[in-house]
Structure 1
Amino acid sequence: MSYPAKPLSALTVRVATAEDFASIWPIFRAVVSRGDTYVYAPETDEVEAERLWMQLPLRTYVAELGGAIVGTYYLKPNQLGLGDHVANAGYMVADAARGQGVASAMCLHSLDTARALGFKAMQFNFVVSSNHGAIRLWERHGFAVVGRVPGVFRHPALGLIPALVMHRFL
């Protein structure tokens, strides 16, 4: 499926509903099945995906373009208790919508939302070091690499590679 080229101003980001998961699932499945950016098992089934993406986070959002869901993200505290003032988020974009600014728009939305919810910072705990596009994007949005953890991701083509910890204050 390809999505019409629409101006990014036509993109809307909103809280996901349970009914939205039918449109989120193909995005989740495509991203996770490649095994190159998320730690979720490539064979994660729909029931587990729904639990991971819709039930565990504080909130889940969808990005819509031309009436179609083209991206999704979750927002949650990075840690419990004394670490719950720092947000964490995960983002996925439909393959056909990549390169159109969807991830950037969701990142900006998540930063504004996290700030409105009272979070003081946002941290990504596990950015796969070979995910250069994401790293560049997060850096453009003010994130800095604050740590590098060697050999913690089993990349299907590259073997054991590092993951980065990225952080920014809100």
Structure 2
Amino acid sequence: MLIREATTQDWPAIWAFFHPIVTAGETYTYPLDLSYEDGQAWWLLPEPNRTVVAVDETTGAVLGTAKMNRNHMGNSAHIASASYMVDPAHGGRGVGRALAEHTIDWARQSGYRAMQFNAVVASNEHAVKLYESLGFTITGTIPEGFHHPVHGYVGLHIMHRPL
């Protein structure tokens, strides 16, 4: 697996799994009817932020993607954030972990002091477990902060780790 900068040419391959993940409404706080163009604008971030793809080195297939950015501005601009999506056809193969480790390294090398996720859906147990294994802790939970289409109202975690 190779992790490289994402380009606009990667967007159709990303959209192929991004769109079903967003419209399922189980893990992201994005609008369920997010358009192709808006999705691209939200996900493919300009510098100094960064968006990457994990690709199969043999086939070139996009396995997953991550976007990295500053979490807040001004006097909180020293905290990074990131978001991840893995093509479900390639789940369970370490793609998410590799992307998360890549974003942590990027944040550290970019001079951030910590990384924070503002909206980790509590019922997304795989993500919570992965983030905790990478040193993130749940610093707070918004009770019933997310309306899951299957589980109803569930918590929305804020997760943090120092760099």
Q: Same fold (TM over 0.5)?
A: yes
Matched, 1:145 2:135: no
Unaligned runs of 5+ in 2: none
Q: How far, CA to CA, are the matches of 1:96 and 1:55 in structure 2?
A: 25
Whole-angstrom distance in 2 between the partners of 1:168 and 1:152:
21
2:44 match: 54
Aligned to 1:23: 13
| Cα deviations by residue, 1:18-43 (Å, 9 ceiling, x for unpaired) | 21111111121121111000011222
Task: Tell me what 2:26 maps to.
Answer: 36
Q: Are 1:115 and 2:105 an aligned pair?
A: no
The 3-state SS of whatever aligns with 1:134 is helix
Q: Paired residue for 2:120?
A: 127
Aligned match of 2:94: 101
Q: Which residue does the alignment assign to 1:8? A: none
2:54 corresponds to 1:63: yes
Contact 2:45 2:67 in 1 (8 A): no
Question: How far is the alpha carbon of 1:68 from its aligned partner?
Answer: 0.6
SS in structure 2 of the partner of residue 39 of structure 1: coil
Consecutive unaligned residues in structure 1, runs of 5 or more: 1-10
Q: Distance in 1 between matches of 2:11 and 2:113?
A: 29
Using a 3 Å threshold, how does the CA distance of structure 1 residues 56 and 34 change in structure 2: closer, same or farther? farther
- Contact 2:27–2:124, Cα closer than 8 Å, also in 1: yes
The one-character-per-residue Cα deviations of 1:44-67 (angstroms, maximum 9, x if unpaired) are 110110111014681111000131
Which AA in structure 2 matches 1:59?
R
Q: CA contact under 8 A between 2:145 and 2:155: conserved in structure 1?
A: yes
Does 1:13 find its partner at 2:3?
yes
Give RMSD over aligned pairs.
1.2
| Paired residue secondary structure (1:167) | strand
What amino acid is aligned across from residue 42 of structure 2 in structure 1?
Answer: L
2:133 alignment partner AA: R
TM-score (norm 1): 0.91
Displacement of 1:15 in angstroms is 1.1
Q: TM-score, normalised by structure 2?
A: 0.94
| Contact 2:78–2:112 (8 Å) recurs in 1 | yes
* Worse-matched range after superposition: 27-36 or 134-143: 27-36
Q: How many residues align?
A: 160
